Structure 1
Amino acid sequence: MIVDRQGRRFRNLRVSLTAACNYACTYCVPNGKRLVAAQDELSADALVRGVAYLIEAAGIERLRITGGEPLISPKFDDFLSQVARLDLDDISLTSNGQLLSRKLPVLLDNGLRRLNVSLDTLDAERFRGIARGGDLATVLRGLDEAAAAGMKIKVNMVPLHGHNHDQVLPLLDYCLERGFELRFIELMRMGHLARDANGFQQQFFGLDDLLALIAERHTYVQASAPLDATAQRYEIPGRGFFGVIANESVPFCRTCSRLRLSSTGWLHGCLSSSNRHYIGDLLDKPRHEAFPALQRLLVRALGDKQEVAFSGGATIMKIIGG
């Protein structure tokens, strides 16, 4: 097991099946162009081998399938059916929900019961303005169907000052009424926002702003969360829970256990580092050849983690998964 001097190790793996997305959200893709699949994306079989190797070499316990938008990937069904048979404590999915209704039988047949859906507004016109793609009613229908099938659902919202911060309370009430846990994600200084300090500050709507706004309507108390959790978690007694992934306001780097594998075979140990480590060429090698090299790369990836706080990064989040 690989552990750094702060006692951190990799427990949680996020695998980006594809960089392609059917949205072009303003906080992710500033030019409005949808991201497309890379020409050198790995096959489902290769990515599954990568997950299996990382379970053994790094002690990965939990897997989250991400993108881009994973449900548009032609290898999604095959990948899920294979990783569902691996020795993992938990498998979950992050999606924009646009294809959720269509893919729900596949998720259920393979035992996936936890789902995060990105949703930044309940206003259809605002939805089109932020996502620059998709249809709000389709997403909401998919959420209702997933909930009826017994899935545990979290909704992810990126509140942006001047764009959708007035949707904080409507979305929170929507989630409380349905038993969903809403996660507010502070805007991250990544991609174009790492280079545009003024644009970042103008849009940033952080933990203090969120809690002050929520307090206007609800009484809440802080709730417990796992040691390596990214979210500050709160309970509204008798109603439900919400969380804030406060990467700027309350950094969680000291306890981070996350590792990311891109669709093109690169390991990313930290969102705030431009370093990446290629394992695609190891995945066709026998275990006894691949493992020594993989373990060396994992040591480097763990060493990329920030000591205290996120400091921004040039990498586009959609390429390596949320």
Structure 2
Amino acid sequence: MIVDRQGRRLRNLRVSLTSACNYACTYCVPDGKRLVAAQHELSAEALGRGVAYLIEAAGIERLRITGGEPLISPKLDALLEAVAPLGLQDISLTTNGQLLARKLPVLLAAGIRRINVSLDTLDATAFRAIARGGDLATVLAGIEQAAAAGLRIKINMVPLRGQNLDQVLPLLDYCLARGFELRFIELMRMGHLARDGKAFNQQFASLEQLLELIGQRHPFQQAEAPLDATALRYEIPGKGFFGVIANESVPFCRTCSRLRLSSTGWLHGCLSSSNRHQVGDLFDKPRHQALPALQRLLVQALADKQELAFSGGATVMKVIGG
């Protein structure tokens, strides 16, 4: 087990299956161009071996499959098949939901029981303006089918001043009515927003603003959450729960247990660090050769983590997953 001086270890692995995405969300890409698959992306087989090596080298317990948009990748089925027997405590997936109905049988067959769906508005016009792709009705239909099939669903919303703050309460009520937990994610200083402070400040909605909006309709109280949780969790008595990932307002760096693996084989220990570590070539080596080298790089990745607070990063979020 690798532990740093703050007692943090790497428990949660997020694997970006591909950097390609069928959306071009305003807070992710500045020019409206959809991201495509990167050159030299690892195969599903290599990613599967990588996950197995990281479980052994770092003590990874939970896996989340991300993108880009993982459901558009032809590697999805093979990766799910590779990681299913590895003994992880939990395997989940984050998606924008556009292909959810189509891929639902694959997810169920692989034993996926929990997904996060990114959804920033229930207004069709605003949806197109923010996502710059996709169709809201298709996403909502996919969510309903997934819920009916028994999947546990969380909805992720990025509140943006001037774009979708009027959707905070409608989305919350939508989730409460269906037993979904809504997660508000404060805008992050990532990619172009790390370089353009004016654009960030114009769009940023804080934890305080969100709680004030919610309090106008629902009384709530803070609820317990796991020590290494990224979200502050709140309960609306008798109705359900919601959370806020307040990376700006209430940083969670002190307890972060996340490690990210890009589709091209780079390890990222911290979203707020420009450091990254190439490990893809190790996944083609035998276990006895790969593990010692991998552990050395994991020590460096853990040391990349911020001690106090997220300070921004130039990496585009869609390249390494949420």
Quickly name the TM-score band, shorter chain normalised.
over 0.9
Q: In the alignment, which residue of structure 2 is the partner of 1:312?
A: 312
1:125 aligns with 2:125: yes
* Alpha-carbon shift at residue 113 of structure 1 (Å): 0.4
Q: Distance in 2 between matches of 1:281 and 1:131?
A: 34
Q: In the alignment, which residue of structure 2 is the partner of 1:99?
A: 99
Which deviations, in whole Å up to 9, do the C-alpha atoms of 1:88-119 show, x marking residues without a partner? 00000000000000000011111100000000
* Alpha-carbon shift at residue 191 of structure 1 (Å): 0.3
Q: In the alignment, which residue of structure 2 is the partner of 1:200?
A: 200
SS for the counterpart of 2:182 is: strand
Mapping for residues 225-304 of structure 1, pairs under 5 Å: 225-304=225-304
Q: Distance in 2 between matches of 1:254 and 1:124?
A: 39
Q: In the alignment, which residue of structure 2 is the partner of 1:141?
A: 141
Mapping for residues 72-221 of structure 1, pairs under 5 Å: 72-221=72-221
* Alpha-carbon shift at residue 292 of structure 1 (Å): 1.0
Alignment-mate amino acid for residue 189 of structure 1: R
* Alpha-carbon shift at residue 54 of structure 1 (Å): 0.2
Q: Distance in 2 between matches of 1:88 and 1:313?
A: 30
Q: Distance in 2 between matches of 1:291 and 1:123?
A: 49
Q: Distance in 2 between matches of 1:81 and 1:174?
A: 33
TM-score (ref. length: structure 2): 1.00
Alignment-mate amino acid for residue 78 of structure 2: D
Flag structure 1 segments of 5+ consecutive residues without an equivalent: none
| Alignment root-mean-square deviation, CA | 0.4
Q: In the alignment, which residue of structure 2 is the partner of 1:23?
A: 23
* Alpha-carbon shift at residue 135 of structure 1 (Å): 0.3
Q: Distance in 1 between matches of 2:246 and 2:204?
A: 11
1:43 aligns with 2:43: yes
Which deviations, in whole Å up to 9, do the C-alpha atoms of 1:120-155 show, x marking residues without a partner? 000001100000000000000000000001110000
Q: Distance in 2 between matches of 1:172 and 1:145?
A: 19
Alignment-mate amino acid for residue 260 of structure 1: R
SS for the counterpart of 1:85 is: helix
Alignment-mate amino acid for residue 115 of structure 2: L
Alignment-mate amino acid for residue 140 of structure 1: L
Q: Distance in 2 between matches of 1:254 and 1:219?
A: 29
Alignment-mate amino acid for residue 126 of structure 2: R
Alignment-mate amino acid for residue 22 of structure 2: N
Q: Distance in 2 between matches of 1:270 and 1:112?
A: 26
* Alpha-carbon shift at residue 39 of structure 1 (Å): 1.6
* Alpha-carbon shift at residue 87 of structure 1 (Å): 1.5
Alignment-mate amino acid for residue 54 of structure 2: L
Q: Distance in 1 between matches of 2:77 and 2:137?
A: 24
Q: Distance in 1 between matches of 2:112 and 2:214?
A: 32
Q: Distance in 2 between matches of 1:188 and 1:258?
A: 16
* Alpha-carbon shift at residue 266 of structure 1 (Å): 0.3
* Alpha-carbon shift at residue 61 of structure 1 (Å): 0.1
Which deviations, in whole Å up to 9, do the C-alpha atoms of 1:157-182 show, x marking residues without a partner? 00000110110000000000000000
SS for the counterpart of 1:65 is: strand
Q: Distance in 2 between matches of 1:229 and 1:13?
A: 14
Flag structure 2 segments of 5+ consecutive residues without an equivalent: none
Number of residue equivalences? 322
